[in-house]
Structure 1
Amino acid sequence: MQKTALVPYAHLPRAHHDLHVLTSTVDVFGAAHWLLAERAPQRGGDLLPFDALVVSVDPDGTVGLTELSAVRARWPHLDRLPDGGFVVAASRARRDEDRHQVQVFDVLGRETSSFSVGDAVEHLMVDEAGQIWVGHFDENPAGIRRWSAAGRLTWTSDDAGIPGLLDCYALNVSGTGAWACPYTDFPLVAIRPDRADRAVRVWSNRVRGAHAVAVHGGLVAFYGGYGEEKDRLALGRVTETSVEPTGTGLLTLPDGRAPGRRRVVARGSRIYVQAEPFTAWGVFDLSF
């Protein structure tokens, strides 16, 4: 099977390797971010809140540091807002901390607002307009929703006609819209809430279990799958009603190894992959 190697993209500066990586992401503008703390969170005994450090590496290599005060998320998601602030969110909505599930911080690391988006957060991604997209896993039937940074619900997949949306396996946020590939039917879904017509389009798809999707023009790439297909890279072409397969291979680390435990973020034509110890991002770009 043909192998495609990720291209090295961004690295956590070595000066910060002594801190624990709570989470990491690549934002809509291509900057990589790491949320760091003195130690890893412990189940049932952590004293919250805690202070954290965000290390940012912009596409030109510029490094920025932002100290966040009083972070409350034990198992966090992270993304940067267009104004330079950050969003940190807990994947689970604990009853006693529900109103603090999502915290919004300004450029100086000060909390400016907090709100809840509901339990079972699989993906949290900010778009170019500062809207916060949330994809839920199957313990929350909310599916896919979009929120303002002030906590106002601005779009929901309810009544959007997305078939079999029980778990948002794959979510790709770029520009001001999103692509998704949800369980159980795994259609390719384009979401453009600000369009007056055809805000949601759906294509049938035969690739099952992908955890990331990238789109460029009429081309699409699905990454991941079940069991032995966890490193699968499946390529296809978008027709009027369906995605037609054009090839299947494996996506590897830059040195050819399988990623093992990994984080994955999809943005437009790109799929970013970060393998343990989570200090480096590699990228596959469908547009190349």
Structure 2
Amino acid sequence: MRKTALMPYAHLPRAHHDRHVLTSTVDNFGAAHWLLGDHAPQPGGEVPPVDALVVSVHPGGSVELTELSAVRARWPHLNRLPDGGFVVAASRARRYEDFDQVQVFDALGSETSSFSVGDAIEHLLVDEAGQLWVGHFDENPAGIRRWSATGLPTWKSDDAHIPGLFDCYALNVTGAAAWACPYTDFPLVEIRPDRTDRPVRVWENRVRGARAVAVHGGRVAFYGGYGEEQDRLVHGELTETSVEQTDIGLLTPPEGSVAGRRRVVGRGSRIYVQAEPFTEWGVFDLSS
């Protein structure tokens, strides 16, 4: 089976390795961000607001630090807004936790607004216009939704006729578009809400369990799978109605196969991958 090595992309500066990585992501413009806290979150009970540090590594290697005041999410998602601010969202919206799930911070790290988008967030990705794309896992039937940075819903998958959308396994947001590969049928879905002609396109797909997807022209790549297939990389080509597989291999860290969990982000032709302890990002680019 052919192996493809991830290319090193960005790493958390060693000066910050004494902090706990709460979450990490790569934004629409290619900057990598780490949300750091003093301690790992503890399960159960109420979550006291804590101050957190965002370490941003931009393409080219420059580093930017932003202190966020009073972050409330125990298991957070992080993304950056085009104006330099940040969005932090709690993955779970518990009935006993009396606070808005999403916090919006300005470029100086002060909270400017908050709102809720629903329980069970699997993905939170911001597009080039500052719209928030949220993909839910199966404990919330909302599927996929898009929100403004002020908390107004701007698109929802309810009437999009996406087959078998019970869990948004993979979500890729690039420019103003989104691509998804949801459980249980795992179709490849292109979503362009602002396009009047066919805002949603669906391709039948036989790849099961992918956690990330990359698209470039008429080509597509699926990364991840069940059990021992967590590093599987499947290439395919788009026909009018389906994805035709062309190759199956492995996508491995630069130093070779390693054990542990993965964190993935899909952005256009790129799939960014982190392995524990989540201090480094590697990248696979389908356009290369």
Q: Do they fold alike, i.e. is TM over 0.5?
A: yes
**Cα root mean square deviation, aligned:** 1.0
CA offset at residue 261 of structure 1? 1.1
Equivalenced residues, count = 288
Matched with 2:95 is: 95
Q: Which runs of 4+ in 1 moved over 3 A?
A: 96-99
Q: What is aligned with 1:129?
A: 129
- For the Cα contact (< 8 Å) 1:98–1:116, is it kept in 2? no
**SS at 2:165's partner residue?**
coil
2:187 equivalent in structure 1: 187
Q: Percent identity?
A: 81
Distance (Å, rounded) in 2 between the aligned partners of 1:111 and 1:97 = 18
Q: Counterpart in 2 of 1:196?
A: 196
Name the counterpart of 2:61: 61
**CA apart distance, 1:86:** 0.1
Give the structure 1 partner of residue 162 of structure 2.
Answer: 162
CA distance in 2, matches of 1:168, 1:94: 20
Residue 47 of structure 1, CA deviation: 4.5
SS at match of 2:64: strand
Q: CA deviation at 1:200?
A: 0.2
Match in the other structure for 1:171: 171
Q: Which amino acid aligns with 1:86?
A: F
**2:144 aligned partner:** 144
CA distance in 2, matches of 1:55, 1:224: 27
Contact 2:47 2:72 in 1 (8 A): no
SS in 2 for 1:68: strand
Unaligned runs of 5+ residues in structure 1 are none
| Aligned counterpart, 2:271 | 271
Distance 1:7 1:79 in 2: 22
2:97 is paired with a residue whose SS is: helix
Corresponding residue number in structure 2 for 1:217: 217
Shift of 1:94: 1.6
Amino acid in the other structure paired with 2:239: T
Q: Distance in 2 between matches of 1:103 and 1:281?
A: 25
- Distance in 2, Cα, partners of 1:192 & 1:45: 40
Amino acid in the other structure paired with 2:260:
G
Q: What displacement does 1:257 show?
A: 1.7
Structure 2 Cα separation of the partners of residues 145 and 156 of structure 1: 4
CA distance 1:45–1:98, change in 2 (3 Å): closer
Decide whether the 8 Å contact of 1:208 with 1:225 is kept in 2.
yes
> Could you tell me whether the CA contact under 8 Å between 1:172 and 1:266 is conserved in 2?
yes
**Alignment-mate amino acid for residue 226 of structure 2:** Y
How far the C-alpha of 1:98 sits from its partner, in A, is 5.4
SS of alignment partner, residue 193 of structure 1: coil
The alignment's TM-score, normalised by the length of structure 2, stands at 0.98
Unpaired stretches in structure 2, ≥5 consecutive residues: none
CA apart distance, 1:96: 3.8
> In 1, are the aligned partners of 2:47 and 2:73 still within 8 Å (CA)?
no
Q: TM-score, normalised by structure 1?
A: 0.98
